């Protein structure tokens, strides 16, 4: 239900008055970030804690519209008998369109590498380990309001021989200072054979 409502919001907002060229005040895309979260495998986010995710990333604004970005994520899925670790490193290019003041639409394409390793919990013996190329696209809306708050929603689609997944995420962060923000996020990952629901915190430092 969540992902379909998010799709509707993104499609509706992306059609707003594209001719509006007001500059942004709160939104900045020169930053580094870190996040950590935990969640549930094939259940609601608070049902159990058998999935976790950690991420580091960077964004660089080349000019008023074009961005360079990169991120690394480490995911751990640990049901009863095994632990699956998925490491993904991706870099890409994005385009920012300013819909109105403090309201941006971002579209990006990313390319990288992903590794999935499955181990037995009893003795840490590897059952399988594979590494493949991965690529994906992402669209996002970022909205700054009340001088210090930024709300975001995004849809990301990743494809590889190891992982086909769609990631639907919403987040809210607060600017503690003009350069540092802290916030929280909810993410729903819909994969080939499983889904995860994650809740977490993130930290963002502008440079």
pLDDT tens, position by position, 22-70: 444 799 999 999 999 998 887 665 556 789 999 999 999 999 999 999 9
- What is the Cα 72 distance to its own chain's centre? 11
- Residue-wise pLDDT for 64-111, tens only, equals 999 999 999 999 998 778 899 999 999 999 999 999 999 999 999 999
Give the Cβ contact number of residue 20 at 10 Å. 12
* pLDDT at res. 44: 61
pLDDT of residue 156: 98
Q: Give the bridge partners for 172, in sequence order.
A: 151, 184
Containing 181, the helix (H) or strand (E) segment is: strand 180-190
- pLDDT, tens only, 115-137: 999 999 888 888 899 999 999 99
Q: What is the pLDDT of residue 9?
A: 43
- Whether the predicted pLDDT of 187 surpasses 60: yes
* Residue 14 in this model has a pLDDT that exceeds 70: no
Structure confidence at residue 45 (pLDDT) = 54
């Amino acid at each position: 239900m969540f992902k379909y409502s998010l799709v509707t919001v993104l499609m509706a907002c992306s059609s707003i008055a594209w001719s509006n060229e007001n500059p942004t005040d709160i939104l900045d895309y020169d930053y580094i970030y870190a996040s950590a979260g935990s969640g549930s495998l094939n259940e609601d986010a608070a049902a159990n804690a058998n999935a976790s995710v950690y991420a580091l990333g960077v964004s660089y604004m080349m000019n008023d519209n074009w961005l360079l970005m990169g991120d690394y994520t480490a995911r751990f899925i640990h049901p009863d008998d095994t632990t699956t670790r998925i490491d993904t490193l991706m870099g890409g290019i994005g385009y920012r369109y300013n819909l109105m003041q403090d309201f941006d639409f971002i579209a990006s394409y990313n390319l990288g590498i992903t590794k999935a390793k499955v181990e037995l919990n009893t003795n840490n013996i590897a059952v399988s380990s594979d590494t493949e190329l991965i690529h994906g696209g992402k669209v996002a809306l970022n909205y700054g309001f009340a001088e210090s708050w930024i709300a975001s929603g995004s849809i990301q689609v990743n494809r590889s021989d190891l992982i086909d997944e769609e990631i639907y995420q919403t987040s809210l962060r607060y600017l503690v200072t003009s350069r540092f923000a802290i916030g929280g996020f909810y993410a729903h990952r819909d994969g080939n054979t499983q889904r995860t629901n994650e809740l977490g915190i993130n930290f963002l430092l502008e440079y």
